[in-house]
A = this chain, B = another copy of it.
Amino acid sequence: MSDTPLPGARPQPAPGLTPGHAFEAFDLRTVEVPGADWAMEMEITPQVVNSSGVLQGGLLTTLVDLVAGTAIWRGIVPQKGTTTELHVSFLAAARVGPVRATAHVLRRGKRSVVVRVDVHDRGAGDLYVATATLTFAVRPEGTPGTAP
């Protein structure tokens, strides 16, 4: 296997997460994918599916947003970002899991960053589940915020 859980990776919920937070339902772990800027895997549990038993689209989008946001923050110049645009094409239903969301930063500007996230169902022959493009308004760490 070319990618392995990072040593420091831990399942959600993060320490300090408010009890009952929606993210408690997310069974997540960070994985290292060569060439990617960030990647996480998520189990398809009964806590995140819809009435048809497939990963609910909005929750899949939440995973995508988390992975993209972390990819930005971990750049050579760390940046804090706010999602401004999000486009997802759903290609197939995710039924088995885990799903893997892999982020690549396409453009890293001073004011905005564009990230691609691709999602595959690892347990279903690596089925291509979704592709997303996100834009973030950013500023370098330590810079006082300004209105976007």
Residues of A within 8 A of B (CB): 18, 20-26, 46-48, 56-59, 61-66, 82-93, 106-107, 109-112, 114, 116, 128, 131, 133, 135, 137, 146-148
A84-B89, A86-B88 in contact; A137/B114 too (CB < 8 A)? no
Instruction: Given A86-B90, A148-B112, answer yes or no on A58-B48 (Cβ-Cβ < 8 Å).
Output: no
- From B91, B111, B131, B135, give the contact of A89 (CB < 8 A): B135
Shortest CB distance A6–B (Å): 21
* Residue from B86, B91, B93, B111 within 8 A of A57 (CB atoms): B86
Chain B: which residue is nearest A22 at the CB level?
B25
From B22, B111, B133, contact of A111 by CB (8 A): B111
Establish whether residues B133 and A89, one from each chain, have CB atoms under 8 Å apart when the complex forms: yes
Beta-carbon contact of A133 and B135 below 8 Å: no
- Whether A48 pairs with B25 at a CB distance below 8 angstroms is no
